């Protein structure tokens, strides 16, 4: 994580995303701009929560880890979204791990300033309510879709989510052999079954497997298989 010392850029993100009214003028001096690289953790499950983040650029992956060490992907998020909102409202530790899939930019503010200035500011509370209610709606849909769809659809959705960022045309990610094991856990299947589906996708010309990594060759073909991305 790097703090970006650029007030003009911070103000630009506030203006583009129409956040000026959400943040009370007293909060503005306490807003900071942060950047995260691909693969960098923004927050980890179980850690103390100190900041609320507003995702203004890039894509993040949100997943949870069980006590047995198994992980399950919950969703991918793109702007505009909040990270740490439920933790702030409930006063609890971080619920899920959040990882940057592409280069990410966040606006951050420490909880102490939210407690001091935001709890009696209706526009900010309305903004949070809108984001939180949307999260619960998407989570409900995700649980249904993830159970109903076969591994082929889950893998195709996952590949599209980690390989592309609609806001950054230059970003094209790849999956390494190490991340394939994580992917099997994240989409809820065995590594052996995942490999069978990968072989099928390679034979159909949808992806290419070289030097221990996967690369999407036919984005349109994967998109047609998915119909709609169940993780976004």
**CATH code for the domain of 195:** 1.10.10.10
Q: Give the residue from 206, 1, 15, 22 showing the smallest Cα distance to 131.
A: 22
23-70 pLDDT, tens digit each: 888 999 999 999 999 889 999 999 999 999 999 999 999 988 888 777
Does residue 49 share a domain with residue 162? no
Last residue of one domain, picked from the residues 112, 145, 178: 145
The answer as to whether 180 is a domain residue is yes
Domain count, the chain: 2
Q: Going edge to edge, which strands form the sheet with 213-216?
A: 175-176, 213-216, 207-210
Does residue 133 share a domain with residue 19? yes
The answer as to whether 176 is a domain residue is yes
Has residue 184 got a pLDDT over 60? yes
**How far is residue 165's CA from residue 36's CA, in Å, rounded to a whole number?**
15
Last residue of one domain, picked from the residues 83, 114, 145: 145
CATH assignment of the domain containing 20: 2.60.120.10
69-115 pLDDT, tens digit each: 778 778 889 999 999 999 999 999 999 999 998 899 999 999 999 99
The answer as to whether 62 is a domain residue is yes
SS3 212: coil
Last residue of one domain, picked from the residues 91, 123, 145: 145
> Quick one: angle between helices 177-186 and 151-163, nearest 10?
130
Does residue 7 share a domain with residue 60? yes
Q: Write phi, then psi, for 35 (nearest 5 degrees).
A: -120, 145
Does residue 185 share a domain with residue 116? no
Q: How confident is the model at residue 203 (pLDDT cuts 50, 70, 90)?
A: very high
Q: Which residues fall within 8 angstroms of residue 210, CB to CB, at 6 or more apart?
A: none
The answer as to whether 111 is a domain residue is yes
Does residue 126 share a domain with residue 76? yes
The answer as to whether 48 is a domain residue is yes
Does residue 20 share a domain with residue 101? yes
Does residue 141 share a domain with residue 67? yes
Instruction: Indicate the DSSP class of residue 129.
Output: H
Structural domain for 159, as ranges: 149-226
The answer as to whether 231 is a domain residue is no
Does residue 179 share a domain with residue 163? yes
Per the prediction, the chain carries an average pLDDT of: 87
pTM of the model: 0.80
């Amino acid at each position: 994580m790097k703090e970006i010392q650029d007030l003009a850029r911070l103000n630009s993100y506030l203006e583009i995303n129409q956040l000026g009214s959400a943040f009370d003028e007293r909060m503005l001096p306490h807003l900071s701009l942060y950047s995260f690289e691909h693969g960098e953790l923004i927050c980890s499950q179980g850690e103390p929560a100190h900041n609320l983040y507003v995702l203004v650029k890039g894509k993040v992956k949100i997943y949870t880890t069980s006590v047995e060490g198994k992980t399950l992907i919950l969703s991918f998020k793109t702007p505009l979204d909040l990270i740490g909102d439920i933790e702030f409202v409930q006063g609890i530790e971080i619920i899920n791990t959040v990882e940057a899939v592409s280069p990410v930019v966040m606006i951050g503010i420490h909880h102490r300033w939210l407690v001091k200035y935001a709890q009696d500011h209706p526009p900010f509370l309305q903004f949070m309510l809108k984001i939180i209610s949307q999260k619960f709606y998407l989570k409900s849909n995700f649980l249904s879709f993830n159970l109903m769809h076969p591994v082929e659809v889950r893998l195709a959705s996952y590949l599209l989510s980690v390989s592309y960022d609609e806001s950054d045309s230059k970003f094209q990610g790849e999956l390494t052999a190490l991340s394939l094991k994580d992917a099997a856990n994240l989409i809820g299947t065995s590594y052996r079954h995942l490999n069978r589906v990968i072989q099928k996708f390679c034979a159909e010309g949808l992806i290419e497997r070289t030097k221990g990594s996967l690369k999407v060759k036919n984005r349109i073909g994967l998109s047609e298989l998915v119909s709609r991305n169940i993780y976004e």
